[in-house]
Structures are given as structure tokens and as C-alpha cells.
């Protein structure tokens, strides 16, 4: 039994002295928010890290997604085809924009929206597709792009789990019309709370920048109904420091992933979903899938680990179509997601999880 509780993650934090230096700059400048120096430096640095042309920082991923849907001007009452295998923020942002989420089933291996099932859900009311690169597994961006072009639909990606993921060396923020990233404390790279939007179209980025600042275009002109999406200097300072250390964190997680995979891959009934060779891993989560031939169910394994002070997460259970607020929404046959939601379990995954603890987790799973 673990002596201390082992949680699913630990936030990435710089050395406190380094953050204090950042704070001294803020005290000296007396500039706390509203597009300060740290904000602007972080925005530029992130463009290089994510390999994108246009990037707008936002104060959290949910506001970023709200703005992404708003800037695309999706008609009120229109339908947005999305995945139910995601965090609540994804369908909630669709609904807050006055649109309806239409839940589509997922792929068994990547657990992302099943692109082959999207077309059958398109109606005259469909305005967009919102895919989620869940656990850093990219959606089938090529297929989705083809469908969207053919059916004249907008495409938004939720890349909250896919910081720095690349497909064939291309940053994941280059697909679709707009991509959202979350920099929440639990994410690989964090600004405490925070996020950003990336897009290829410069005009769209300019509109995003206006919407994140209440719709203010200039001192006396407010044309759009914007929101407060501004990232403050304290968040940006955390981002600047975490940018210096996130690659090292990724390397540690890579080693942890290899350790887990080597220990768990021979256990009957444990499936480890695999990324394709052309995709670089973000190392944000470590999900396993509990198959029928494992000795106990996912829920029993979750409880067993908990009894040993090891806290895993049934992420995502329940799925979004199970929420009370979406019970009456339109959805198709969700066979795969209704199965996976009872099988997936995310294991503790962070750079400083020591090998002895990881070994103990694997031993509990092996001997359950
Ligand atoms: C898939 C997904 N979408 C959206 C969000 C919302 O991001 P934020 O917490 O930064 O608002 C999260 C996580 O928190 C997420 O996991």
C-alpha cells in the first residue's frame, strides 16, 4: 500500500525563485493584465513551440472555445457534430453559443470522433464539426477536412489534451478553422488557468483578438459582442517559466510511459491504446482499456487501486450524452463510446512519479 496518496497528476511548477523573479518584473512594471509584456512574449514563444502562424492567448480553455465558436458565426439553433467522449466544456461551449451538440460515436483505438460516421449525421441545420484530440490522439483530420469542404462546414478542434502534438512534423494547431488549447493546472503545460486559439487565417485571428477584449476595436468603437478573455501577467509569467521546463517533464513522462507499457502490456485483458508512428506524443495522459478477459471490471480495479491509496480516473465517465442536461439532445448509435466509457482508466502520470510507485501500481493491477 502506498504510504502517501498517489494522485492522477501533479501540476508542473517552476522553481519558486524563478517565479519570484517574474513577480518582481510585474511589481516593477505595475502592469497586471490587459496584454502586458509577459503576455506578448508568451504569445510569440508559443507560436514557435506549437508551430503555428497565428495564436491568441485566452484566460482559460473554455472561454477560448466559446470565442472560437462565436467568431465563426454559427447560426443560432444550428447543429454542431461532436464527440460525447470529452470533458463537459466541449458540448457546453456549443450550447452557450446557442447551437445544439449532435453526438457522434468514436473510434475504438484513438477514442476520437469517428469520421466515417459524421456524414450520416449532417442535416440542413449542421454548421460545424467539433473534434477533440482526446489524450493527444489526433482526430482523423484529413477525412474531417474533406467532409467539411464538401459539405461547407466549419471545423473546430479541441486540443486541450494535445499540447505540442505534431502530425508528420506539423503542429496540431494547423488543422481545421480554429484549434483550442487549454493551459489548465492539470495539463502538461500550464499557466495556472489559461488557453489559446490558433488559426491559419490572419483576419480570423484579428476578430478573435477583438472578441477576447469585450469586442473593443478601438478606444471609441465597440462593434462585436465580446467577452473578457484576457490572460493576465501572473498567468503569462507562469507560462514563460513552465515553457522552459516542459520538455524535461515530457522526457520524464516518456520514460514513465515506457515503464508502464513494458510492465502492463503482457497482462491479459489490459489494452494500451497506441499512437500512430507519424504522431508525436504530448505525454499528457496514460489511459488503459480494461477488456472482458481481465480478472475484474474497470470499476472494481479503480476501487482496488483506491484502497491502496492510488487514485486513478475514469476519464471520461459519464460520457457527455449521459449528462442530465443533454439527455434530450440528438444522438446517433453510440455503441463504441457506451462500451469504452466503462473500460477506460487513466493512471497516475507525471514526471516526478517515482519508478517504485509506478511499479507498485503495475503490481496491484497484475495481482488484482
Ligand atoms: C477536452 C477538454 N476540453 C476543454 C477543457 C476546458 O479547458 P479549461 O479547463 O482550460 O477551461 C478541458 C479541460 O479542462 C478538456 O479536457
35-69 confidence digits (pLDDT tens)? 999 999 999 999 999 999 999 999 999 999 999 99
**Per-residue pLDDT for 327 more than 90?**
no
**pLDDT at residue 4, as a whole number:** 86
Cα 37 to averaged position of ligand 1 atoms, centre (Å): 26
pLDDT score at 2: 62
**Taking residues 287-305, what's their average pLDDT?**
97
| Range 205-213 contact pairs with CB under 8 angstroms and sequence separation of 24 or more | 205/54, 205/55, 205/56, 207/71, 208/56, 208/67, 208/68, 208/71, 208/178, 209/56, 211/67, 211/70, 211/71, 212/56, 212/58, 212/63, 212/67, 213/35
Q: What local confidence, expressed as pLDDT, does residue 165 receive? A: 98
Question: How many angstroms is it from 62 CA to the middle of ligand 1?
Answer: 6
In angstroms, rounded to a whole number, what is the distance separating the alpha carbons of residues 64 and 50?
16
Most confident range (mean pLDDT) of 216-220, 237-241, 332-336 is 237-241
Provide the 8-state DSSP code for 74.
P
Does pLDDT of 226 surpass 90?
A: yes
Average pLDDT over all residues of the chain: 96
- The pLDDT, as a whole number, for residue 330 is 62
- Residue bearing the CA closest to ligand 1, atom 8: 61
| Domains of the chain as residue ranges with CATH | 16-240 (3.40.640.10), 246-367 (3.90.1150.10)
Counting from 1 in the atom list of ligand 1, the atom nearest the Cα of 158 is 3
Q: What percent of the chain has pLDDT over 90?
A: 96
d(CA 261, CA 273): 10
Spell out where the chain has E strands.
Answer: 54-58, 79-82, 100-103, 126-132, 154-158, 166-167, 170-171, 178-182, 195-199, 216-218, 221-222, 270-271, 287-290, 344-346
Q: Minimal CA–CA distance to 128: which of 148, 149, 106, 103?
A: 148
Report how far ligand 1's centroid is from the alpha carbon of 315 (Å).
Answer: 12
pLDDT band at 1 (very low <50, low <70, confident <90, very high): low
Mean pLDDT computed over 342-359: 96
Give pLDDT tens digits for 189-201: 999 999 999 999 9
CA end-to-end distance (rounded Å), the chain: 13
Give the pLDDT score at 151. 98
Q: In the predicted model, is pLDDT for residue 301 greater than 80?
A: yes
CB 153 within 8 A of CB 129: yes
Atom of ligand 1 nearest to the CA of 194: 10
Pocket test for ligand 1, best of 64, 83, 89 (most atoms within 8 A of CB): 89
pLDDT score for 21: 98
63 CA: nearest ligand 1 atom:
11
On the question of pLDDT at 316 being above 70, the answer is yes
Residues 276-296: what's their mean pLDDT?
96
Is the Cβ atom of 86 under 6 angstroms away from ligand 1? yes
Q: Rounded to an integer, what is the distance from CA 121 to the centroid of its chain?
A: 24
Confidence of residue 223 (pLDDT cuts 50, 70, 90): confident
For residue 345, the model assigns a pLDDT of 98
Q: Count CB-CB contacts under 10 A for residue 21.
A: 13
What per-residue confidence (pLDDT) applies to 349? 98
Mean local confidence (pLDDT), 152-173: 98
62 lines ligand 1 (CB under 6 A): yes
Residue 332's pLDDT band (boundaries 50, 70, 90)? Answer: confident
Asked if residues 84 and 116 have their Cβ atoms less than 8 Å apart, the reply is: no
Q: What's residue 331's pLDDT?
A: 65
Least Cα distance to 68 among 260, 207, 186 occurs for: 207
Residue 93 pLDDT: 98
Per-residue pLDDT band at 128 (split at 50, 70, 90): very high
Q: Which atom of ligand 1 is nearest to the CA of 134?
A: 1
Q: What number is the average pLDDT over the span 20-32? A: 98
What does the pLDDT look like over 80-102, one tens digit per residue?
A: 999 999 999 999 999 999 999 99
On the question of pLDDT at 328 being above 90, the answer is no
Amino acid at each position: 500500500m502506498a504510504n502517501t496518496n498517489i494522485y492522477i497528476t501533479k501540476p508542473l511548477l517552476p522553481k519558486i525563485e524563478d517565479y519570484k523573479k517574474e513577480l518582481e518584473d510585474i511589481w516593477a512594471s505595475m502592469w497586471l493584465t490587459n496584454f502586458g509584456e509577459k503576455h506578448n512574449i508568451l504569445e510569440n514563444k508559443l507560436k514557435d513551440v506549437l508551430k503555428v502562424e497565428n495564436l491568441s492567448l485566452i484566460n482559460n480553455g473554455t472561454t477560448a472555445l466559446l470565442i472560437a465558436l462565436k467568431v465563426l458565426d454559427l447560426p443560432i439553433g444550428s447543429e454542431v457534430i461532436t464527440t460525447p467522449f470529452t470533458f463537459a466544456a466541449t458540448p457546453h461551449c456549443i450550447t452557450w453559443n446557442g447551437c445544439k451538440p449532435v453526438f457522434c460515436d468514436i473510434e475504438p483505438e484513438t477514442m476520437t470522433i469517428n469520421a466515417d460516421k459524421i456524414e450520416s449525421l449532417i442535416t440542413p441545420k449542421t454548421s460545424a464539426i467539433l473534434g477533440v484530440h482526446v489524450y493527444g490522439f489526433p482526430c482523423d483530420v484529413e477525412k474531417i477536412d474533406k467532409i467539411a469542404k464538401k459539405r461547407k462546414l466549419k471545423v473546430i478542434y479541441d486540443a486541450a489534451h494535445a499540447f505540442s502534438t505534431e502530425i508528420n512534423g506539423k503542429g496540431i494547431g494547423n488543422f481545421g478553422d480554429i484549434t483550442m488549447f487549454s493551459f489548465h493546472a492539470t495539463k502538461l503545460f500550464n499557466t495556472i488557468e489559461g488557453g489559446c486559439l490558433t488559426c491559419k487565417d490572419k483576419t480570423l485571428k484579428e476578430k478573435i483578438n477583438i472578441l477576447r477584449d469585450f469586442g473593443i476595436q478601438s478606444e471609441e468603437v465597440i462593434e462585436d459582442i465580446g467577452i473578457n478573455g484576457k490572460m493576465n501577467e501572473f498567468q503569462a509569467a507562469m507560462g514563460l517559466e513552465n515553457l522552459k521546463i516542459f520538455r524535461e517533464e515530457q522526457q520524464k513522462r516518456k520514460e514513465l510511459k515506457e515503464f508502464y507499457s513494458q510492465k502492463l502490456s503482457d497482462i491479459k485483458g489490459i489494452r494500451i491504446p497506441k499512437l500512430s508512428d507519424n504522431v508525436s506524443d504530448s505525454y499528457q495522459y496514460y489511459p488503459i482499456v480494461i477488456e472482458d478477459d481481465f480478472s475484474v471490471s474497470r470499476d472494481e480495479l479503480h476501487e482496488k487501486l483506491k484502497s491502496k491509496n492510488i487514485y486513478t480516473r475514469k476519464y471520461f465517465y459519464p460520457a457527455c450524452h449521459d449528462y442530465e442536461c443533454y439527455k434530450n439532445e440528438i444522438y446517433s448509435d453510440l455503441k463504441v463510446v457506451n462500451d469504452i466509457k466503462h473500460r477506460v482508466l487513466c493512471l497516475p502520470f507525471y514526471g516526478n512519479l517515482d519508478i517504485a510507485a509506478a511499479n507498485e501500481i503495475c503490481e496491484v493491477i497484475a495481482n488484482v
